[in-house]
Copies of this chain bind each other. A is one copy, B any other.
Amino acid sequence: MSTAQAHEGVKPAKKRFRIDYHTFGPFVALVALCILGFALNPAFASEGNIANLLTRSAFIGIIAVGATFVITAGGIDLSVGSMAAVISGVMIIVMNTMIGTTGTGVATVLVGCLASVALGLLAGFVNGFMTTKGKIEAFIVTLGTMGIFRSLVTYLADGGTLSLAFDIRDAYRPVYYGNLFGVPIPVVVFGLVAIAGWIVLNRTAFGRYCMAIGSNETVARYSAIKVDRVRTLTYVIQGLCVSVATIIYVPRLGSASSSTGVLWELEAIAAVIIGGTMLKGGYGRIGGTVIGAIMLTTIGNILNLTDIISNYLNGAVQGVIIIAAVWLQRGNLGRINIFRKAGS
């Protein structure tokens, strides 16, 4: 009589050979994509290409780590792309201005980074404050700040482009183009941000609060969680992530204009959702987000592997792959035979 089991109280979760599709799915989809890429063009697997691919995914990936917090806590931030643009712009202005004072070396770059972080925190706080204290839907607040930030960068650039003085570029270049033990710096930063994000979300009280708020705000309030403060903090974290992404972005293109970071918000949110975080909140996965970001970049890369498809259809192929990848990873995988055995 196996009911006895039900009576022994709560046993620790069993770690059997059970496939959690939400953890496993995104990974499988990514592997499938890579196989497709290699089949299309073996150059896909070249070291250079892989390095490029990972480096690129760092921007969106870092922003998406922040977005994971916001979305897990039941919010949304549409302003990240514009925020990145305005932060880039201000960084460039600050650094160009500081050349006279601190020279063209690392000092100036550091001042620029400091400005970036300060601005990111501020922008995030503004979004969070208006959402929580102003009681305005996050969608509206960040739609508004998206317009505001985008305008600001246009204004700062006087309708044109802000470019980093060429003297400083040499000092700053390694942040994008350099590498640490062969790993590109942006990838290193991405990794660190992801690990930090994972720890905060899964191993601190704050992370638990985010999930609780996203899951049921009332329960969170009845559980002595300072809902407004935690929620505001998620936007601040998002701002910080945007500023970090910007810091590694600026040396790549050395400029900022009104077209910088357009639609990054959509990519970041897509990375988060592809990774298995729920848009309605309550459930976040940093690991999934990382894979989601890499997946999106990989799709773009795959389109460049071959020119059998008309350029006009790039978007369509991208759309199909995204849907297919997510379809693959959402339990539908279970219908494929080899997985059914291992699964429930």
**Chain A residues within CB distance 8 Å of chain B:** 4, 6-7, 76, 78, 130, 134-137, 139-141, 143-148, 150-152, 154-155, 158-159, 217-218, 221, 266, 269-270, 273-274, 278-280, 310-320, 322-323, 326-327, 330-332
Contacts and interface: CB of A to CB of B under 8 A. Distances in A.
* Residue from A150, A270, A312 whose CB has the most chain B CB atoms within 10 Å: A312
B140 A326 contact: yes
Given A155-B310, A326-B136, A330-B136, A316 B218 contact: no
Given A4-B217, A218-B4, A320-B144, A315 B136 contact: no
Contact of A269 (B139, B155, B266): B139
Given A319-B145, A322-B147, A140 B6 contact: no
- Top-6 shortest CB links A-B: A147-B319, A151-B316, A151-B315, A144-B319, A144-B323, A147-B315
14 contacts: A78-B266, A134-B332, A136-B327, A137-B278, A137-B279, A139-B270, A139-B279, A144-B319, A145-B319, A148-B316, A151-B314, A152-B316, A154-B312, A154-B313
Contacts of A147: 315-316, 318-319, 322
Given A4-B221, A280-B280, 19 more contacts: A4-B218, A136-B327, A137-B326, A139-B273, A139-B279, A140-B270, A140-B323, A140-B326, A143-B270, A143-B322, A144-B319, A145-B319, A147-B316, A147-B322, A148-B320, A150-B315, A151-B317, A151-B319, A155-B313
Report copies per complex. Answer: 2
A16 to B, nearest CB: 24
A180 to B, nearest CB: 34
Contacts of A137: 273, 278-279, 326
Contact of A322 (B144, B278, B312): B144
Nearest to A78: B266
A325 to B, nearest CB: 9
A313 B278 CA distance: 35
A161 to B, nearest CB: 13
Contacts of A278: 137
Contacts of A313: 151-152, 154-155
A135 B218 CA distance: 28
Nearest to A310: B155
A8 to B, nearest CB: 9
Contact of A6 (B135, B150, B314): B135
Nearest to A314: B151
Contacts of A218: 4
A328 to B, nearest CB: 10
A280 B135 CA distance: 15
Nearest to A328: B136
A217 B147 CA distance: 34
A280 B314 CA distance: 32
